[in-house]
Amino acid sequence: MQKTSQNRTHFKMPELPEVEVCRLGITPHIAGQKVADVVVRNAKLRWPIPDEVHSVVGKTLEKIERRSKYLLLRFANGTLLLHLGMSGSVRILAQDTPDIKHDHFEMLFDNGKMLRLNDPRRFGAVLWFPEHHDLQGLLTKLGPEPLTDDFTYGHLFAKAGNRKVPIKTFLMDNHVVVGVGNIYANEALFIASIHPATLVNSVSEEKFNELTDIIKTVLAAAIEQGGTTLKDFTQADGKPGYFAQKLFVYGRAGEKCDGCQTVLEEIRQSNRSSVFCPQCQVMPKPQPQRETVAKKAVVKKLKDKKLKAKKPKDKKAAIQTIKNS
Ligand SMILES: [Zn+2]
């Protein structure tokens, strides 16, 4: 990761917008094309690249889909799953383009083009799931896609329930929602004026509503911005899909808040950096748990009922009340 805070731009590990931009960038070049060959230069990625990836040779790449940060290359006989890990990037090149350091995997197509994966840190993955494999079962454990209608504030609020989890950790949990990585979690919480350590059981339904809209907006804006870099996918140098963008808080600890000029602070949460403005993102005072609030309401109702019962309207009722007590 490279920090370039002076010009307020940042290059970082691929998150959902980068992966989606990648999908958009490579699809027009290779979708609908037949695979002529597969070359594994170095199988030692996060998991070894299995020999079965060669079963796509002679098959047509039907489409490229994305689920969370996984690129799913669909073939009639199965799915080739591609993950960019921490430093992976793919390019579309002519097949005679000389390989460079960290080029680990390539797929050659009938139209003379080649998909090549470069990954210096080798945390990426290339895996093969044959047709009969329940890939869906593997991926349905994931939470909803943030840019679909399945991701609602109601979903977040229900998932939060009475959990005492910091909101930032919660948002980055793939079982809650996929694809909200460290950068966009930091940014969304700043825009929503929520301190990253706020426990989810103290976030109101209204606030979740606001936050949900902000997450969608932030991610969609990043994808749109990345759209300007689509041509980079066919260039041999650089890191396609790693577009620079203006960030409010991520990578800016010690610098001034755009809103109020207070110095931004940094804390560690789940071993990840959280940067926030102590003025704009105030930690709420400890709130009674939702359960307790509900309990109090019930107790109050019962009390009111008792009080009413103690104020009988007529003598007969008064006698009845005394008899009953
Ligand atoms: Zn501020």
Q: How far apart are CA 291 and CA 44, in angstroms?
A: 50
3-state secondary structure of 325: coil
Beta-sheet pairing, 265-269 with 63-67: unpaired
Angle between helices 205-226 and 16-30 (to 10 degrees): 40
- What confidence score (pLDDT) does residue 319 get? 55
- Residue 188 bridge partners (DSSP): none
Sheet arrangement for strand 125-130: 63-67, 70-75, 78-83, 125-130
Q: What's the pLDDT tens digit per position in 183-202?
A: 999 999 999 999 999 999 99
Domain boundaries, the chain: 16-130
- What confidence score (pLDDT) does residue 131 get? 79
Q: How far apart are CA 143 and CA 73, in angstroms?
A: 21
Mean pLDDT for the chain overall: 87
Q: How far is the CA of 277 from the centre of ligand 1 (A)?
A: 5
How does pLDDT run along the chain (325 residues), one tens digit per residue? 344 344 444 446 788 999 999 999 999 999 999 999 999 999 999 999 999 999 999 999 999 999 999 999 999 999 999 999 988 999 999 999 999 999 999 999 999 999 999 999 999 999 999 977 767 666 778 999 999 999 999 999 999 999 999 999 999 999 999 999 999 999 999 999 999 999 999 999 999 999 999 999 999 999 998 887 787 888 766 666 677 778 999 999 999 999 999 999 999 999 999 999 999 999 987 655 566 666 677 777 777 776 655 554 555 665 565 555 5
Q: How far is the CA of 234 from the centre of ligand 1 (A)?
A: 40
- What confidence score (pLDDT) does residue 134 get? 66
Contacts of 269 (CB under 8 A, 6+ apart): 166, 168, 169, 196, 197
- What confidence score (pLDDT) does residue 7 get? 40
Q: How far is the CA of 279 from the centre of ligand 1 (A)?
A: 5
For the structural domain made of 16-130, what CATH number should be given?
A: 3.20.190.10
Residues with a known catalytic role: 14-15, 69, 272
Q: How far apart are CA 213 and CA 146, in angstroms?
A: 10
Q: How far is the CA of 155 from the centre of ligand 1 (A)?
A: 29
- What confidence score (pLDDT) does residue 324 get? 59
Q: How far is the CA of 256 from the centre of ligand 1 (A)?
A: 8
Location of structure tokens 């809103």: 259
Q: How far is the CA of 187 from the centre of ligand 1 (A)?
A: 13
- What confidence score (pLDDT) does residue 1 get? 39
pTM flag (> 0.75): yes
